[in-house]
Homo-oligomer: A and B are copies of this chain.
């Protein structure tokens, strides 16, 4: 029998992941700040909790996919959450946060004797539905061994173990999002130049993504940018706050941020 799971955070990515877990046979108790977002899951058999702690089974597994550092801290510090999880319980934290924030969360869980696994996820909602997510994860071996089978149930195409060092998986996520945003900005500038010169931006990106850049991100964002249907911010759906997190996390360790600073300014435009 698959483990029952507490699932916190039913945003655009959380919902299809929760649905995948239910399809894999997990009984879910869900919680979301705006309860109505879970209505279809409840209709499919999920239990609804009135608070984060209400979604927790003592010694059980709880998965969270929230908005930012503050929203994870708020859940973790909410009444009864850590107490109820207790020794043997594991929190799989999938929200994109800062490495420092993830380390602080891990320390807080350790104090309470609760296992903590950071497991940020790459993928748009469509990728979750298609079970094509990529997950990076890190944490102590005991909790990881217990939750490792869950990643496939969530819809991961592959999950990458970054060892015991909390922050390592979070860093991959921030770097990956930064690379995506950078690629989008470069394609935007490059294809604008082609178009302004009177050339075919679509044919330009078509060749480049068949040759130098045969990566889905270049292909899909590139096509949207060439067609003029891309969202602002370089055709990327990644929220500006993730770029801000990258920059702040780099500054926190005195690493230079010329490109991320420019990209952030451009987004704030």
Q: Please report A residues at the B interface, Cβ cutoff 8 Å.
A: 99, 122, 134, 136, 158, 160, 162, 165, 167-168, 171-172, 174-176, 178-180, 182-183, 185-187, 189-200, 203-204, 207-208, 210-218, 246, 249-250, 253-260, 262, 266
A259-B262 contact, Cβ under 8 Å, with A136-B207, A187-B179: yes
Chain B hits for A215, CB < 8 A: 212-215, 218
Inter-chain contact B193/A249, CB cutoff 8 Å:
yes
Q: List 21 A-B contacts (CB under 8 A).
A: A122-B211, A134-B207, A162-B207, A168-B203, A171-B193, A171-B194, A172-B208, A175-B208, A178-B190, A182-B182, A189-B260, A190-B246, A193-B246, A193-B250, A193-B253, A193-B257, A196-B253, A212-B216, A213-B215, A214-B215, A258-B266
Which residue in chain B gives the minimum CB-CB distance to A253? Answer: B196
Contact partner, A171, options B180, B204, B255, Cβ 8 Å: B204
**Copies of this chain, count:** 2
Expressed in whole angstroms, the Cα–Cα distance for A213 and B200 within the complex equals 25
Inter-chain contact B207/A217, CB cutoff 8 Å:
no
Q: Report the minimal beta-carbon distance from A57 to chain B, rounded to whole angstroms.
A: 31
Inter-chain contact A186/B183, CB cutoff 8 Å:
yes
Which 5 pairs across A and B sit closest by C-beta, in order of nearness?
A182-B186, A196-B255, A175-B190, A196-B253, A193-B250
Q: Report the minimal beta-carbon distance from A176 to chain B, rounded to whole angstroms.
A: 5
Q: Report the minimal beta-carbon distance from A193 to chain B, rounded to whole angstroms.
A: 4
Inter-chain contact B217/A199, CB cutoff 8 Å:
no
A262-B255 contact, Cβ under 8 Å, with A122-B211, A191-B175, A215-B218: no
